[in-house]
Structure 1
Amino acid sequence: MNYVVKTFVSLVVAGTLGACSIFSSDESEQPAELVDFDEEFSLNRDWSVNVGDGQGSRYNRLKPVIVGDTLFAASEDGEVYAIDKASGDVLWRERTGEIITGGVGAGGNMVLLGTRDARVFALEQSTGDFLWEASVSSEVLAAPASDGRLVAVQTVDGRLIALEPSDGRQRWVYETTVPALSLRGNSQPVIVGNVVIAGFSNGMVAGVDANNGFLMWEERIAVPQGRYDIERIIDIDGDPVVVGNVVYMGSYQGNLMGLDVQSGRIVWGMPGSTYQGLALGLGNIYWVDSFSQVHAVQNNTERTVWQNDSLRLRRATAPATFNNFVAVADFEGYLHVLSQIDGSFVARTRVDRDGVRAPVVAEGRSIYVYGNSGRLSAYSLP
């Protein structure tokens, strides 16, 4: 087979693979050594805050979220922080006492969190005050989403659940089939107008009516192949990216696709294997493949603009675009900044010696990196 999943923790009850790294058929191949280069500039570290125990031991990818001037972050051991994104000042901190595995979501003046024991919590954005909690069908590994009209939650048993934003009562449930084996993770649902869009571990993307949970459209972006369950893994674990009327998603051992939000019609697609989200900028689509190689493809085509193989097997995070650059972090805790023009490295700094799994968050000229140890740092262009 073309890809081999090497697990760093044992199979859990839900039938998922935890802490996965993707290796070539030569299992002796080691992660690429970093090569020195002439930096075009040095990133400024503006501030750093320690957030609980960070990603913890369960291969979480708890991604911070920005709302206005505030950045929200959560740790596996249940600490939730609201931080001024410019100064790094902690505006409030709450200790929930929960094991958080899905977070952080935000919308409708709520901070939303999913837990290992199948619950969803909502806190008030400005104060951190507890609003409500709701029980769902199984563990939540992706951040809940809300537009203020509903809260959308995906669970590891293949369900997309809508909750009332006022009190967490269940509004509807959309169910899919779950394969025998999958990677540990889920993609975050997105709400676009009257459509809730979610990608599942069976390689399907569904557009569901936000009002009643009725299926509006469904599209397969990966087809399982091979004799063994491990060869047939086709998870969609990267968060969707919506640009205009198109939602972009990728699957492991499958394809990358852009789908029309209202109809699910395929407007762009190409073969590709990823368990990360995509990013767009300068007319390109940026993605990190299962070997951690970074690609730029011209939007609406399959033409490769550039490919950077220097991070091969370094478990690079999903790409984030800012200014004229693409940023990713890796398992040794290095933040890499690449040119969107040609994919060359322009800057690098080490942010966390325990590594980085959570996707980098970028806005304007700033990058926010949440390391595995719990160190959340803000960097900016000079």
Structure 2
Amino acid sequence: MHSPVARKTRFLFSAVLGLALVGLAGCSRDGEEAVKPNPLPEFKEEVKVSEVWSRGVGDGQGESWLRLAPVVDNDQVYIAGASGQVAALDRNTGKEIWKIDLDRRIGGGTGFGEGLVLVGTRDGYVVALNATDGTQVWEAPVTSEVLAAPQAADGIVVVQTIDSKVAGLDAKTGEPVWLQEILQPVLTLRGTSTPAVEKGVVFAGFASGEARAYNVRTGSMLWDSRVAVPKGTSELERMVDVDSTPMVAEDAVYMVSYQGNVVALDPASGRLQWVREASSYQGLTEGFGNIYMSDADSVLSAVDQRTGSVVWSQKELEHRSLSGPAAVNNYVVAGDFEGYLHVVSQVDGRIVGRGKVDSSGVRSSPLVVGDTIYVYTNKGNLAALKLK
């Protein structure tokens, strides 16, 4: 008889995550009972989700469990599709500025920096495009498949690959500058944390449950710490992947792991400031002195940034495969598997609005710039929305 953790993990394998069985041929799922998503809850509407514009861009997330997301710089929004399309749109109108087809499978995107639009490919390359017109500047091989958006700062492009390596590439040429690696567990989720680069430091989380900081120019390790320690008797139970992007605030770096913890780390030393048990593979956001996360069961929670105590939990959306959350004005928004965008109050977690983006579902976290919410759906529709 399987433990509750094993049953939940196997459900996620079949219905939500598409786990990467590193080093294994497969995993039996016969006899496992699927968890039904909660029905759409009733609520008193306080805000409306209004569409500003929408445009189809490529094929979205494709057939794999990808979480390609848009990125905004100034008045342009950049987005990539799984089968190789990359586009720049006017972020206010949705008008196409340029669009190209790389004719290769994209697994990680979209990144921006140093005047470049950056994507990672399924066959282990980083491709850099000129942000102005989309022309290819360079492409560079890395050690393995790229499922995280490359980042750029201080003349370096930073990319994390699925084999738990982090590389620094010269932003002008794509030539390798440094490489760091960490021991990878036998079994991992199919996904990779996107490194965060702030003030010359690269913050990265790994499938082992570890967190590390590197100098962005040299790759020298500044510190290492633990988000979670593997527990249990089976490889499934011992999975503690850090798959979400570290969230960097002024006084702390926040990370969350699957079947582990959400933590606040000191940016300078990696020392734990607080730790709370949690399980999530989605990104974090902040607002009103809280960090917000959707856990592996799609329970949306607010956690006090200073203490780690839970402020509220929203359980009405449980098992609806929520995306990572994003904070906008007084609200938190998250997409779900049916393509709804849910709007929740930052104050108490009550549902105050809902809008349908499209029926293909929303897997990647919404992007908020000012009062505009950009949502990229699984089938490739990029929508700009506002709350009224």
Which one-letter code corresponds to 2:85 in the other structure? E
Q: Retained in 1: the 8 A contact 2:18–2:65?
A: no
Question: Could you tell me how far 1:30 is from its partner in structure 2?
Answer: 0.8
Q: How does 1:204-283 map to 2 (within 5 A)?
A: 204-283=210-289
1:82-103, Cα deviation, whole Å (9 max, x unpaired): 0111111111101111100000
- The normalised TM-score by structure 2 is 0.93
Q: Retained in 1: the 8 A contact 2:155–2:170?
A: yes
**Quick check: 1:30 aligned with 2:36?**
yes
The DSSP-based 3-state class of the residue aligned with 2:236 is: helix
Q: How many angstroms apart in 1 are the aligned matches of 2:119 and 2:24?
A: 21
Task: Tell me the equivalent position of 2:119.
Answer: 113
Match of 1:307 among 302, 313, 319: 313
Shift in alpha-carbon separation, 1:285–1:65, aligned structure 2, 3 A: same
Q: How many angstroms apart in 1 are the aligned matches of 2:120 and 2:365?
A: 18
Question: Could you tell me how far 1:43 is from its partner in structure 2?
Answer: 1.6
Question: Could you tell me how far 1:245 is from its partner in structure 2?
Answer: 3.9
Question: Could you tell me how far 1:321 is from its partner in structure 2?
Answer: 0.3
Which one-letter code corresponds to 1:354 in the other structure? S
Question: Could you tell me how far 1:35 is from its partner in structure 2?
Answer: 1.7
1:271-305, Cα deviation, whole Å (9 max, x unpaired): 11111111110011111111000001222123222
Question: Could you tell me how far 1:262 is from its partner in structure 2?
Answer: 2.0
Q: Retained in 1: the 8 A contact 2:20–2:189?
A: no
Task: Tell me the equivalent position of 2:157.
Answer: 151
Match of 1:356 among 362, 366, 370: 362
Shift in alpha-carbon separation, 1:59–1:365, aligned structure 2, 3 A: same
Q: How many angstroms apart in 2 are the aligned matches of 1:212 and 1:56?
A: 35
Question: Could you tell me how far 1:194 is from its partner in structure 2?
Answer: 2.7
Which one-letter code corresponds to 2:75 in the other structure? D
Match of 2:382 among 359, 376, 382: 376
Match of 1:141 among 128, 144, 147: 147
Shift in alpha-carbon separation, 1:278–1:15, aligned structure 2, 3 A: farther
Pairwise CA RMSD: 1.8
Question: Could you tell me how far 1:28 is from its partner in structure 2?
Answer: 4.5
**Quick check: 1:53 aligned with 2:62?**
no
Question: Could you tell me how far 1:221 is from its partner in structure 2?
Answer: 0.8
The DSSP-based 3-state class of the residue aligned with 1:171 is: strand
Q: How many residues align?
A: 376
Which one-letter code corresponds to 1:258 in the other structure? A
Shift in alpha-carbon separation, 1:17–1:88, aligned structure 2, 3 A: farther
Which one-letter code corresponds to 1:153 in the other structure? V
The DSSP-based 3-state class of the residue aligned with 1:305 is: strand
Q: Retained in 2: the 8 A contact 1:109–1:148?
A: no
**Quick check: 1:322 aligned with 2:350?**
no
Q: How many angstroms apart in 1 are the aligned matches of 2:207 and 2:257?
A: 9
The DSSP-based 3-state class of the residue aligned with 2:237 is: helix
Question: Could you tell me how far 1:191 is from its partner in structure 2?
Answer: 1.5
Question: Could you tell me how far 1:381 is from its partner in structure 2?
Answer: 2.0
Task: Tell me the equivalent position of 2:303.
Answer: 297
Shift in alpha-carbon separation, 1:11–1:274, aligned structure 2, 3 A: closer
Question: Could you tell me how far 1:12 is from its partner in structure 2?
Answer: 5.4
Question: Could you tell me how far 1:44 is from its partner in structure 2?
Answer: 1.4
Shift in alpha-carbon separation, 1:319–1:16, aligned structure 2, 3 A: farther
Q: How many angstroms apart in 1 are the aligned matches of 2:24 and 2:208?
A: 12
Q: How many angstroms apart in 1 are the aligned matches of 2:310 and 2:370?
A: 26
Task: Tell me the equivalent position of 2:90.
Answer: 84
Shift in alpha-carbon separation, 1:17–1:169, aligned structure 2, 3 A: farther
Shift in alpha-carbon separation, 1:283–1:124, aligned structure 2, 3 A: same
Which one-letter code corresponds to 2:57 in the other structure? V
**Quick check: 1:73 aligned with 2:74?**
no
The DSSP-based 3-state class of the residue aligned with 1:184 is: coil
Worse-superposed segment, 297-306 or 118-127: 297-306
Question: Could you tell me how far 1:16 is from its partner in structure 2?
Answer: 8.7
Q: Retained in 1: the 8 A contact 2:49–2:353?
A: yes
Q: How many angstroms apart in 2 are the aligned matches of 1:366 and 1:191?
A: 24
Unaligned 5+ runs, structure 1: 19-24
The DSSP-based 3-state class of the residue aligned with 2:358 is: coil
